[in-house]
A and B are shown apart, each in its own frame.
Chain A
Amino acid sequence: MKFTPEICFEGGRVRPLVAEDRDALFQLFQTPELPGQHPVQKPEQLERMIELSVQMAATQRGMMWALEVGCEDNWQLQGMVSAYEWQPSLLRTMLRVDGSPELLIEHRAAALEVCLNFMAEKYHLHNFGYQWIEGQPPEIVTMLEGLGFEQAARLRDAWRLGDRRFCDLLQYHRVQRQPAETTEENG
């Protein structure tokens, strides 16, 4: 049973992770974009992540998509979209995009938007958070603001860079209004 859908957007698509993505993901995580994050050492580590992506979606704890750019017969895996800390009963989740250096900001934004919309429609989530870590490219903040996210808090030293080294992160939220319940019109 598939819980993670494939969704197309202008110039690319997101789709469920599959076992064959292992080597492409290994390549992606050789240049991790999160400050303090080290390159993945062994491709086998990503096999476990791919397995977990299915389990997490099935139990509504998280969802992971491969982010591909290109067109039919020529897809390039350039990132991943993740929903984590998913709280189904509180109708909220955190989102994150991990992108390769080649990933354009418009593709990053479009992928995030389609995943967010899917979770809003399918699971009625209305509160989406995104954490920007000090040191990440500032255009991600511009992208978030363009998508309707607003900064809610600056969490001091909430991201760990090393043994006793930390940096701040900015937490953004986009809270959507609940769609009004549809009522049947009589006659």
Chain B
Amino acid sequence: MNWNMETDHLHVRLPVTDTDGDALFELLKDPDVSAHVPKAPMFASVQGLDELRRATMQFQARQGVTWLIERQQGDGVLLARVRLSQINWMTLSAQVQWELSPTLTDAELDEAMFAVHRFCFGELSIHRLDMRIRPGVDTHTAHLKRLGYEYEGCLPAQLEFEDEWVDQEIYSLLSN
């Protein structure tokens, strides 16, 4: 199974632990990039390396997948990280999460996610993908709706972040 994908303009690929740490840090040091999760920004490049090591372990255990998105004609700058986690092979479901660079266009996001969805629903035979985001992040909500995700509700008090309990809205996309 080839987990790396090429679209018209993008590489959607698995990370390389030894070489992608700095680029991932550059993406995730911006607080706005992961505010919708919510998740604290990175403060040191070693955190990027640590995240990639964890991603490798999850991938080897078939518990999760991390894809990095970059332009084919780019300079190695990461446009996004897309992660698949909580893969449940019994219910054929998984959670998807993304962190998007401000330079990523809507068209590029659609192109990348189309490839990710096709891979999940085709190669992995997953039936249901869901994304959980904090309420009020309108840009991400618009992306999800444009991609066909449907709002399912709001799960209360899912995370503690900056001394507050955070609810998470849940959006899903089905294979059919």
Contacts and interface: CB of A to CB of B under 8 A. Distances in A.
B92 A160 contact: yes
Contacts, number: 57
A118 interface: no
Contacts of B90: 160
B157 to A, nearest CB: 5
B93 interface: yes
Given A159-B91, A166-B128, A152 B159 contact: no
Nearest to A168: B152
B47 interface: no
B127 interface: yes
B44 interface: no
A154 B150 CA distance: 11
B46 to A, nearest CB: 23
A127 B127 contact: no
Contacts of B156: 127, 152, 173, 175
A90 interface: yes
Contacts of B172: 155-156, 158
Given A158-B93, A160-B92, A153 B154 contact: yes
B152 to A, nearest CB: 5
B174 A156 contact: yes
Per DSSP, chain A at the interface is strand
B130 A155 contact: yes
Nearest to A127: B157
Interface string A61-105: 000000000000000000000000000001110000000000000
Given A90-B159, A126-B157, A175-B157, A156 B152 contact: yes
Nearest to B93: A158
B170 interface: yes
Contact of A160 (B91, B150, B160): B91
A166 B160 CA distance: 32
B153 interface: yes
Contacts of B150: 156
A152 B155 contact: yes
B155 A173 contact: yes
Interface string A137-162: 00000000000000111111111100
Interface string B54-90: 0000000000000000000000000000000000001
Interface string A157-179: 11110001010000101010000
Interface of B: 90-93, 127-128, 130, 150, 152-160, 170, 172, 174
Closest 10 CB pairs of A and B: A153-B153, A153-B152, A127-B157, A160-B91, A175-B156, A152-B153, A152-B155, A175-B157, A173-B156, A157-B128
